[in-house]
Chains A and B, each alone.
Chain A
Amino acid sequence: MRRLMAWLDDRTGLISWSKWALEHPVPPRTGWWYVFGSATFLAFLLQVVTGIALATAYVPSAGQAYESLRFISERALMGHFLRGLHYFGASAMVILIGAHVTRTYLMGAYKFPRELNWLSGALLLLLTLALAFTGQLLRWDQTAVWSVIVAAAQAGRVPVIGPELVKLVLAGDTLGGQTLSRFFAFHVFFIPALVFLLVALHLALVLRHGISERPTPGEPVDKATYRRRYAELMAREGVPFWPDAAWRDVVAGAVVVAVVALLALIVGPPALGNPPDPSILHAYPRPDWYFLWYFAVLALTPNHLETIVIVFGPLIFGAILLFMPLFNTGERSVKRRPWAGLVVFFIVFVIAAFWMAGNKAPWSPDFEAQPLAASVVGDTTAAVVRGARLFHDKGCEYCHQIGSQGGKRGPDLSDVATRMTPDAMALKITNGGPDMPPFVSNLSPDELQAIVAFLTTRK
């Protein structure tokens, strides 16, 4: 055996190279903060393996993908579980790469000489988001179809080349046979191939520059001295990556796999919605959780800023990632870069706030609103009863809440009579506002009177 290994190593050099790579010295006391990179890569490998398995049954045809997904989910052996693994694996990859980039930023690990580690990582972050988006579309149901259209509509906002971008997203003038197969090719071939290349570069750079040591306040990065200081630290205190640091990566990876598998088993993959038929108009498109916050951004941005946010938001995000390594010297410790902590806190806070808003989506009308029950109306006067009925039929209830019923887009009208006079109500209903249509031509005078009579009882 030993002779066989020696022969292999003599002919390939791989064994001694692996030994060298695995045992290269890393800084001592790196701790659990350093596991996110390897955990992200593990999540990616999980996606590759489960993705290949799913691809053996998935039919990337606009007309048949939905049926093949139903086959995978309902009839194929462990298909349901596999879809769950792939879905929660994707979620894990998004979360872990977010944690990894946050850790790198907070510890200033992107500074000299690791600027290209950061840039290759930034591209990997963008590619991960691209995988997440295209992957959501491959679940080719009604929501996926409308997600393609919403994505195309956003691309269409780009000045000058908007119409061309729309055609490229849809693969034509309308949604059709070519739309899905292009997204499929990008999701399973093109983007993963780029990810593998960039991960190889990223890891080669890690080996070249070594894993960054934990930052010490008062020890700024100086291009003239950093490399010498790092080499001295390694010679003095360096420990072999395997197993001194790697055991934590293995434990973290095992936890990731266990959590993903448990979620896949207990929660399962997202259910398939209606078929991908663009002529079914009862649709409530929502993105998967990782883009839900952006859905909220698009709902809450003032109208006149919208195109700027849609077009320049992603560009600014990309530019920040790209130009970060320009600040490549100076203090690394977050204790001496308190604003770095604030930036992270701010971003997390903003995304969380938008995410919660997106989860509730109060700006979406409630199409399921039922006519108000007699017990809610609470008054049997003919005009009031008629007004309550019109409140539903004329669409008021889609946006306004009475009691616990109705939409949340407009103000809650449960006690509107305490703050508006009947005349003010009639004026508002007739003329509308920026977010409320004028009902002047849609209501007869006695209908308007009935609705006002009903609202006057709300106090």
Chain B
Amino acid sequence: MDPAPPPDSPHAGPAAPPAPELLARRRFLSRVSIALSAAAAAVVGVPVVGFLLAPLFRRSPQQWRAVGAADSFKLNETVSVTFEDASPLSWSGVTARTAAWLRHDADGFTAFSVNCTHLGCPVQWLADAQLFLCPCHGGVYNSDGAVAAGPPPRPLPRYPVRVRRGQVEILTSPIPLV
């Protein structure tokens, strides 16, 4: 039950029941109006929705980024290196930077993602313990990235890495969260 009707509007309602031709005309006009509005909404809506979904259709280019001279990384050590995304937008500032844990051992160089496979937090390398430890929920990885303990479901992902003209290079990649 409505508490009370709003005050009367000054318009009077339709007086006599309209003729059938008039009804048909009204039906036609309302259909045309709805179709026109839908078309206009689509003209505006498609680019807006497409613009918002654009990240799905865009593949960022990949690029090899030098992170330091190969002989500057001591054998059997793991250090953090920083490199820039493949084609950062000019206003990205520091957010265009990515870090990786670079290990140098008898097999050559391995670049581990810093993102814990549990929920993406940045793992930290404990050199004395030879372990990666995650500050969020305590995931632990061995020096080869294998899960040693805690919640992580998968080993630390790796970035492609190579040595060119004495420089260690890492291939920029999508952030490995899945």
Stretch at the interface among B13-21, B24-32, B103-111, B114-122: B114-122
Q: A153-B120, A153-B177 are in contact. Are A177 and B95 (CB under 8 A)?
A: yes
Q: A175-B175, A178-B89 are in contact. Are A433 and B135 (CB under 8 A)?
A: no
Does B137 reach chain A (CB closer than 8 Å)?
yes
Query: How many chain B residues have a CB neighbour from A under 8 Å?
Result: 62
Alpha-carbon distance A281/B91, docked complex (angstroms): 22
**B83 CB to nearest chain A CB (Å):** 8
Contact partner of B89 (CB less than 8 A), chosen from A145, A177, A441, is A177
With a cutoff of 8 Å between Cβ atoms, the chain B residues found around residue A395 in the complex are 126, 128-129, 131, 133
0/1 per residue, A72-100, Cβ < 8 Å to B? Answer: 00000000000000000000000000000
Does B97 reach chain A (CB closer than 8 Å)?
yes
0/1 per residue, A164-178, Cβ < 8 Å to B? Answer: 101110111111111
Does A34 reach chain B (CB closer than 8 Å)?
no
B151 touches A62 (CB 8 A): no
B74-90 at interface with A (beta carbon < 8 Å): 80, 82, 85, 88-90
With a cutoff of 8 Å between Cβ atoms, the chain B residues found around residue A180 in the complex are 95
Complex: chain A residue closest to B97, CB-CB:
A279
B119-178 at interface with A (beta carbon < 8 Å): 119-124, 126, 128-131, 133-138, 140, 142, 148-151, 153, 172-175, 177-178
Interface residue range, chain A? 35 or more
With a cutoff of 8 Å between Cβ atoms, the chain A residues found around residue B120 in the complex are 146, 149-150, 152-153
**A30 CB to nearest chain B CB (Å):** 15
Alpha-carbon distance A36/B80, docked complex (angstroms): 51
Alpha-carbon distance A409/B136, docked complex (angstroms): 11
**A163 CB to nearest chain B CB (Å):** 5
B178 touches A279 (CB 8 A): no
Alpha-carbon distance A399/B134, docked complex (angstroms): 12
With a cutoff of 8 Å between Cβ atoms, the chain B residues found around residue A146 in the complex are 120-122
Q: A177-B95, A306-B151, A435-B150 are in contact. Are A172 and B60 (CB under 8 A)?
A: yes
B148 touches A432 (CB 8 A): yes
A364 touches B137 (CB 8 A): yes
Does A329 reach chain B (CB closer than 8 Å)?
no
With a cutoff of 8 Å between Cβ atoms, the chain A residues found around residue B122 in the complex are 146, 278, 281, 283
A25 touches B3 (CB 8 A): yes
With a cutoff of 8 Å between Cβ atoms, the chain A residues found around residue B4 in the complex are 20, 24
Complex: chain B residue closest to A302, CB-CB:
B151
Contact partner of A438 (CB less than 8 A), chosen from B7, B85, B134, B148, is B148
A302-320 at interface with B (beta carbon < 8 Å): 303, 306
B175 touches A303 (CB 8 A): no
With a cutoff of 8 Å between Cβ atoms, the chain A residues found around residue B44 in the complex are none
Does B92 reach chain A (CB closer than 8 Å)?
yes
A285 touches B129 (CB 8 A): no
B3 touches A24 (CB 8 A): yes
- A sample of 11 more A-B contacts (CB under 8 A), given A24-B3, A166-B178, A395-B129, is A16-B7, A25-B3, A62-B92, A63-B93, A63-B96, A173-B173, A283-B135, A306-B151, A365-B133, A437-B140, A439-B129
